[in-house]
Amino acid sequence: MDPAAPEWASAPAETLALQQTPWASQPSEYAQNAWKDRPYGQTGAVRIAAAHNGEALFFHLSWQDETKDDAIRDTTQFADGAGVLFPVRGDPMLQTMGAASQPVNAWYWRADLEAPISVTATGLGSTVRSTGGSLSAAGSYESGRWRVVISRPFAVQGQDLVALSPGQTGKVGFAVWQGSNQERAGVKATTADWLPLEIRE
């Protein structure tokens, strides 16, 4: 769980390109107008490593961030964050955060929160906190880089949580929020689409 552990640095990893979410798909007209001409989602890339111990799945995310925003001391401050997104049922689109009867499940880590949050969504602006998310996470910031480990046991009970087990294949997506740029909600950088996920035996 230590994001700075040398094992993570030497683990097989992949660097994924991130792009900004389209301003026109922000779920309120205000958010669209406010971000239309304002740069956001410029994180560029996130390095992903993953591992499991037979009982839980671990993702290690790391990305460049010039500023560490791990507390909200003023109304204008927002915290850095990251998300891991999975389709739960059907064939939901990543960019719409799922659709009716095609939910997605996200693991949401934020630098100012004590614990990560599991959320499910069936479309933009529809996220609700899931029960029984059973997530744990640890983040560390060093030399202009966030390193975050986020994990979940394979066996969990709750509604619309992604089913995960060794030997299974699926899909996964990632997102990063830069707190210093007031990024929150749909104002973020994400992978352009789902990526294949293979959990080895």
Partner 1 sequence: MAQPPNVKRQLAAVFDMNKCLGCQTCTIACKTLWTDQEGMEYMWWNIVSTVPGQGTPRGWQELGGGFSDGVAQVSRIPTVSEFGQAWEFNYDDVFYGENGLNSYLQPKSGEDERGPLWDEDEASGDYPNSYFFYLQMICMHCTNPACLAACPRKAIYKRVDDGIVLIDEERCNGYRFCMEACPYKRIYFNHSQKVSQKCILCYPRIEQGVAPACFRQCPGRVRFIGFLDDAESAVHKLVKVWRVALPLHPERGTEPNVYYVPPLSPPLYDDDGEVIEGSERIPREYLESLFGPDVNRVLETLKAEVAKTRGGEKSEMLDTLIAYEWKSMFGGFTRDPGLLKRPT
Minimum distance between the CB of residue 128 and partner 1, rounded to whole angstroms?
A: 8
Residue 27 as a binder of partner 1 (CB under 8 A): the answer is yes
Residue 43 as a binder of partner 1 (CB under 8 A): the answer is no
In a 13 Å sphere around the CA of 167, the CA atoms on its Cβ side amount to 1
Instruction: Report the distance separating Cα 47 and Cα 186, nearest Å.
Output: 21
Instruction: Report the distance separating Cα 172 and Cα 11, nearest Å.
Output: 19
- Tell me whether residue 87 or residue 179 sits nearer to partner 1 (CB atom): 179
Q: How many residues bind partner 1 (CB under 8 A)?
A: 22
**Nearby residues of 3 by Cβ (< 8 Å), 6 or more positions away:** 60, 62, 138, 139, 140, 147, 148, 149
Q: Using CB under 8 A, which of 16, 186, 189, 190 touches partner 1? A: 186
Site string for partner 1, 67-106 (x = CB under 8 A): -----xxxxx------------------------------
**Nearby residues of 115 by Cβ (< 8 Å), 6 or more positions away:** 135, 136, 137
Q: Using CB under 8 A, which of 68, 145, 171, 184 touches partner 1? A: 184
Residue 127 as a binder of partner 1 (CB under 8 A): the answer is yes
Q: Using CB under 8 A, which of 19, 28, 159, 168 touches partner 1? A: 28
CA geometry: angle at 162 spanning 59 and 134, to 5°? Answer: 65
- Which residues of this protein are in contact with partner 1, per CB under 8 A? 26-31, 33-34, 72-76, 112, 124-128, 184-186
